[in-house]
Each structure stands twice: as C-alpha cells, then as structure tokens.
Structure 1
Amino acid sequence: MIRRRSTPWIHRWSRTVMAAIAAITVLETAYLTIAKFTTGSVICPTSGCDKVLNSPYATVFGTVPLSLLGCLAYLSIAILALAPKAVNPDTNKGLYSQLENKTWQGLFIITAAMVIFSSYLMYLMAFEIQELCIYCISSAVFALSLFVLTLVGREWEDIGQLVFTGILVVMVSSIGALGLYNSVKAPVTVSSPGIAPPAVTTTSGPAQIALAQHLRQIGAKEYGAYWCPHCHDQKMLFGKEAAKIIDYFECDPRGQNSRAEICQAAAANVKGFPTWEIKGQFYSGTKQLDELADLSGYPGPRNFKN
C-alpha cells in the first residue's frame, strides 16, 4: 500500500497568511497615502515619519506618492494570493491548476521586486534622509516576509527557471529604483521660467503681512517645491500678498525661479517640504502662523485671518 505524502502545513496556509499580511500593508499604505494628500503628518512616536513622508524621495515622477504605488502592489499580492481559492479544484481542476502556477509566478516577481525596492529605500532612509520611519521599516519587513513565504509556500519544480527569473527581477528593479531617484540628487538645468506652483487664492490681512516682513527681516527661509501640496497650504495661510514677501526657495530644478543649488547645500537639514529655516534652526512641515510667530520671536499683532 502506497502512503500519500501529507502536504506541509506551510503549503496549505501560505496563501492565507500572505493575503492577511498584504491586507495589513494595504491599510498601512492607504493611510500614508491619505496623509500625504491631506495633512502631510502621520501618527508616529518620532518626527522621522513626517520627514520621510514629506521628503523628495516619498514621491515618484514628481507628484505620485510612493505609498500609493505600495498600496497597489500589496493589493495585487492579496488578489494573487486568494485568486485560486475562488475556483473549486474538484469541478474545475484545469483552471485551478493554471491559477495556482500563474499566480505563484506573479507573487514571486512582485515580492522579489518589492524586496529590492524596499532595500534601496532603507538605504535612502538611513544614509540620505537620515531619519527613522517605523512605517517604512514595517513595510520593508512585510515585503521580505511575503517574499520568504512565496519561496517556501509551495514546492518549486524548476529551480533554475526561478533563479533566472529572480536575476531578471533584480536587474530591472535595481535599474528602475536608481533611475527614479537619481534625479532627486542630480542637478537639472531647466530653462526659465519653469513650472509655476498653484496660485494662492487667499488674501492677506495686516497681521500676515507684518509676520512675513518680520520673517524676511530676520533672514528666515522657506524651502519648498512647486508640486508640494503642503507648501501651497503654507502659502494659503499667509495669503497672496504676504506669500510674496516670504524668502521662498524653490527646490525643484524644474520649478519657477528655482534655487535648487541653494537647497542642495542645505539638503542635510531639509528632509521634506516645506522646511523653515529660522534663526539657524530647521522646522519641517506646514506651520500655523502662531507657531511661526513663536519660533521667530514675532512681536506684532496675531489676528491672522486665514
């Protein structure tokens, strides 16, 4: 009598575990994406999360949040992990077998690419941004966990083909990551006038104008980028008249009246946009006018209208 070999528990549960991990990371990256488009701030025990979230490395192609791409990737993993469970293997064995093989291949490619990309992002966080973001670290750990589960979650028959596919994924992912972020550090020459930021539609009251004049008098600087929604929010708080007085530094080489070279000189302290430099200290994120008044020692009226 031939005894059938029992299926290892990891093979039976790997897809379910992967779907659960992917669901958690979908929620995490969705939260980061919403925060990126709204307040620019997240719940975090350190200020590093906000600085990483608002850094130039947190977007691709200038406007697309990296967290949004991560959310889509994790959602794809969840769908691929659960897809075969939608088919009854007893009544449709052929389709089930096809889904099993194709989805495992897809899971391997996506998770391998995410591990490579996450590794590069960990390098950027540690050596370029130099801040700690627990969301980024947890995402990288989840990506690695999903990759390991993909490797051990089934019995791979053609190891040679798997290695070959892995090498291709490493090459493509590495080139893609380097290409996406090389432009963040590399100076780019753009013909004047460059891309203009969104128009400031609010008006300034006397208090906003007085605060803007005070900030300029003490040498305060605001570093930002034309595509940064939080930089626009900051200008809207001041109003269009006062915003023109602020000593504003456009840090994207493609932006209007760019001063990217000055921004690069201050890159060690400018971790995200906007960043204020006031009396030699750097403060990241959109600041309420009362807070700017406190930081700068502003003595004037504070009946700010916006």
Structure 2
Amino acid sequence: MIRRRSTPWIHRWSRTVMAAIAAIGVLETAYLTIAKFTTNSVICPTSGCDKVLNSPYATVFGTVPLSLLGCLAYLSIAILALAPKAVNPDTNKRQHSQLENWTWQALFIITAAMLIFSSYLMYLMAFEIKDLCIYCISSALFALSLFVLVLVGRDWEDIGQLVFTGILVVMVSSIGALALYNSVRSPAPFVSATPGILPPAVTTTSGPAQIALARHLRQIGAKEYGAYWCPHCHDQKMLFGKEAAKIIDYFECDPKGQNSRAEICQAAAANIKGFPTWEIQGQFYSGTQTLDKLAELSGYTGPRNFQK
C-alpha cells in the first residue's frame, strides 16, 4: 500500500496568510491615500511620516499618490491569493489546477516587483529624505513577507523558468523605478542663494490685525516650530499673510531648511508632536491654529478683524 504524502502546512495556509497580509496592506495604503488627498498628514510618532508623505517621492506621474498604486497592488494580491478557493477542486479539478498555476505565476511577478520597488524606496528614505516613516517600513516588510510566502507556498517544478522570470522582473522593476524618480530631487524652485531650502512663498497679504497679532506673539516670546516641506506650516503662514509671517519667531526644524535651528527644535522635541507646533507661554499646541485661537491662547487684546 502506497502512503500518500501529506501536504506541508505552509502549502495549505500560504494563500490565506498572503490574503491576510495583503488586506492589512490595503488598509494601510488606503489610509495613506486618503490622507494624501485630504489633510496631507498622518498619525505617526515621528514627523518623518508627514515628511515622506509630502516629499516629491510620494507621487508618480505628477499627481498620483504612490500609496494608491500600493493599495491596488495589495488588492490584486488578495484577489489572486483567494481566487482558486472559488473553484471546487472535487468537481472541476482541471480548472482549479489551471487557476492555481496561473495565480502563482502572477503572485510571483507582483510580489517580486513590489519587493524591488520597496527596496528602492527604503534607499530613498534612508539617503535622500533622511527620515523615518513607519508606514513605509511596514509596507516593505509586507512586501518581503509576501514574496517569501510565494516562494515557499508551493512546490515550484521549473526552478529555471522561475529564476528567468525573476531576473526579468528585477530588470523591468529597477528600470521603471529609476525612470519614475530620475527627475525627482529636493524642491529646486525653493532653493535660495543662501544655504538651505526655502519653503513655498507666502502669497497672501497681511491686514493690520494679523500684523498686530504677530507682533504680540513675538513680544511674549511665542515660537512656531515647523519645516520647509510641511504643508500645514505653509497654511499657518498663509493665515497670517506675508508681512506678518516675517514677524513671527519661526524655527526651521529640518537641517536642510534655510536658517535651520534644528538644535533648538531637538531640545524641545519631547513636546513637538508634529508641525507646526506653537510654544506659547510654556505650553505647546500642535497643528495649524486659527488666528482667533492664537489670540485667545496668547492673551492678545488687539483688533481681531483678521482678513480672510
């Protein structure tokens, strides 16, 4: 009597585990995509997440968030991983077998491409952006886990063909990543003649009330901590207007920014949860504040007919 070899547990559960990881990836990248289209800010223990999310590397083709492409990739993996389960192998063995083979090939190509792309993004985060994003790191770990599960999740009969396909995927993915980001650099339009990167220009005009509030904030020693790449910091300055924004005691916290005071920011890092953060009379307030709120927090008693 010939004993039938039992199926390894990893082969039985690999698709289910891949679908679960991909589902988490869909949720993560969907959240990042929504944040990119709405607030440009995410919940994160460090400012690095917002910095990466708002960097030029966070979009492709000019306006498409990279997280959206990641979301579609994770969704594709989840569908491919579960697709064979929709066909009963007892009643339609041939179709089930064909679907198994086709989806494994597709899963190998997609996960290999994601791993190559994620590796390149880790390089950009470490050496170009130079900050830490937990969402990016977790996504890279998801990509690695999915690729490993594809490799060990079944018996690959033609290893040579698998290696050949892998080499093609590496070449195409590497060329694609380099082509997408070849022209991406730090925001060149905001580089001034003096060392450091300037934030976008403030284009609104200050009214007398904005100027009076800015002078009051400076007189009482209020500080605004921000970064040149932070869209909320720019929004805060736009509320004040260009004349009043120059009066505020602003601290550039990114070492790359013009007139950076990163050391002072570092000393207050325990109280800076995100940018901008206001320090008013010993208290810290995170996020873009309305001018009325700043007036209330600082004890400002001047005119409040702030221009919109």
Q: TM-score, normalised by structure 2?
A: 0.70
| 1:143-175 superposed Cα distances (whole Å, 9 cap, x missing partner) | 000000000001101100000000000001111
Look up the match of 1:14: 14
- Distance in 2 separating the partners of 1:183 and 1:245: 35
> Which segments of 5 or more consecutive residues in structure 2 lack a partner in the other structure?
190-199, 217-225, 247-253, 266-273, 277-286
- Distance in 1 separating the partners of 2:260 and 2:127: 26
Code of the aligned partner of 1:4:
R
- Distance in 1 separating the partners of 2:260 and 2:107: 51
- Distance in 2 separating the partners of 1:116 and 1:73: 13
Aligned residues of 1:222 and 1:246 also touching (Cα < 8 A): no
The size of the alignment, in residue pairs, is 258
> Which segments of 5 or more consecutive residues in structure 1 lack a partner in the other structure?
190-196, 215-220, 248-266, 271-276
Look up the match of 1:262: none
SS of 1:185's partner is coil
1:170 has 2:170 as partner: yes
Residue 39 of structure 1 deviates from its aligned partner by: 1.3
Residue 186 of structure 1 deviates from its aligned partner by: 8.7
- What percent identity do the matched residue pairs reach? 78
Q: 1:284 to 1:61 in 2, by over 3 A?
A: farther
Residue 288 of structure 1 deviates from its aligned partner by: 3.6
Code of the aligned partner of 2:183:
S
Look up the match of 2:132: 132
Using CA pairs below 8 Å that are at least 6 residues apart, which structure has the higher relative contact order? 1
Q: 1:143 to 1:302 in 2, by over 3 A?
A: farther
Aligned residues of 1:237 and 1:288 also touching (Cα < 8 A): no
Aligned residues of 2:227 and 2:275 also touching (Cα < 8 A): no
- Distance in 2 separating the partners of 1:52 and 1:101: 38
- Distance in 2 separating the partners of 1:95 and 1:235: 62
1:42 has 2:42 as partner: yes
Look up the match of 1:207: 209
SS of 2:70's partner is helix
| 1:196-222 superposed Cα distances (whole Å, 9 cap, x missing partner) | x9xx9x9975434667999xxxxxx99
RMSD in angstroms over aligned alpha carbons? Answer: 3.8
Look up the match of 1:161: 161
Among residues 256, 269, 286, which one is paired with 1:269 in the alignment?
Answer: 256
Code of the aligned partner of 1:162:
L
Look up the match of 1:57: 57
SS of 2:15's partner is helix
Q: TM-score, normalised by structure 1?
A: 0.71
- Distance in 2 separating the partners of 1:136 and 1:177: 16
Residue 237 of structure 1 deviates from its aligned partner by: 3.7
